[in-house]
Amino acid sequence: MTRWFELVTTGSWVLTLAIALILIIRPMVRRLWGSIPVYALWLIPLFVVCVVLFAPRSEGPRLLSRAEFMQNQQIGYVDIAAGTGVAFVIWLLGFGVAVAVVFMRQYKFETQLGETILFDVIRNVPILKSATTLTPMALGILNWRIVVPDDFEHMYPMEMRKLIISHELVHLRRRDPFANVLAEMVRCLFWFHPLVYWGIHYYRIDQEASCDEMVLRSSPDSRAIYGEALLKVASSHTHITNSWRKSKHEVERRIVMLILPIKSRAIRIRGLMVVTVLALLAGVGANGLVPPKSPRMLSVGTHDFLLEQLPEEELGQNLLKAVTEGDLSLTRRLLRLGAPTEYAQPSIGTALILAAKIGRYDLVELLVEGKADVNASVLSAGSPLIMAAKFNRQKIAQLLIEHGSDVNEHVFLDETPLINAARFGHLELVKTLIEAGALVDKSVTTFSITHLPLGTKSPLSEARRIGHADVVSLLKSNGA
Alpha carbon dihedral 416, 419, 421, 427, in 10-degree steps, equals 130
Q: Are 274 and 33 in contact (CB under 8 A)?
A: yes
Provide the pLDDT for residue 72: 37
Provide the pLDDT for residue 1: 53
Residue extents of the structural domains in the chain? 2-289
Provide the pLDDT for residue 247: 56
The model's pLDDT over 234-292, given as tens digits with 9 standing for 90+, comes to: 443 444 445 554 555 666 677 777 777 888 999 999 999 999 999 999 999 888 888 77
Cα(77)–Cα(61) distance, integer angstroms: 11
Provide the pLDDT for residue 119: 86
Provide the pLDDT for residue 235: 41
Q: Are 216 and 224 in contact (CB under 8 A)?
A: no
pLDDT 10s per residue in the chain (480 long)?
566 777 888 889 999 999 999 999 999 999 999 999 999 999 999 999 999 888 877 767 778 877 543 433 333 334 434 445 678 888 889 999 999 999 999 888 888 888 888 888 998 999 999 888 878 899 988 899 999 988 888 888 999 999 999 999 999 999 999 999 999 999 999 999 999 999 999 999 999 999 999 999 888 888 888 888 877 764 434 444 455 545 556 666 777 777 778 889 999 999 999 999 999 999 998 888 887 776 676 777 777 777 888 889 889 999 999 999 999 999 999 999 899 999 999 889 999 999 999 999 999 999 999 999 999 999 889 999 999 999 999 999 999 999 999 999 999 888 999 999 999 999 999 999 999 999 999 998 876 655 566 778 899 999 999 999 999 999 999 987
Provide the pLDDT for residue 257: 77
Q: How many CB atoms lie within 10 A of CB 231?
A: 11
What predicted TM-score, i.e. pTM, was given to this entire model?
0.63
All residues at 6 or more sequence positions from 74 whose CB lies less than 8 Å from its CB, including other chains:
299, 302
Compute the residue count for the chain.
480
Strand order in the sheet with 145-149: 116-122, 125-130, 145-149, 137-139, 242-243
Provide the pLDDT for residue 410: 92
Q: Are 322 and 344 in contact (CB under 8 A)?
A: no
Residue 186 phi/psi, 5° resolution? Answer: -60, -40
Q: Are 178 and 133 in contact (CB under 8 A)?
A: no
Provide the pLDDT for residue 324: 92
Report which DSSP code applies to 294.
P
Q: Are 43 and 199 in contact (CB under 8 A)?
A: no
Report which DSSP code applies to 55.
S
Provide the pLDDT for residue 10: 85
Cα(204)–Cα(176) distance, integer angstroms: 10
Q: Counting Cβ atoms within 10 Å, is residue 423 exposed (0-12), middle (13-18) or buried (19+)?
A: buried
Q: Counting Cβ atoms within 10 Å, is residue 162 exposed (0-12), middle (13-18) or buried (19+)?
A: middle
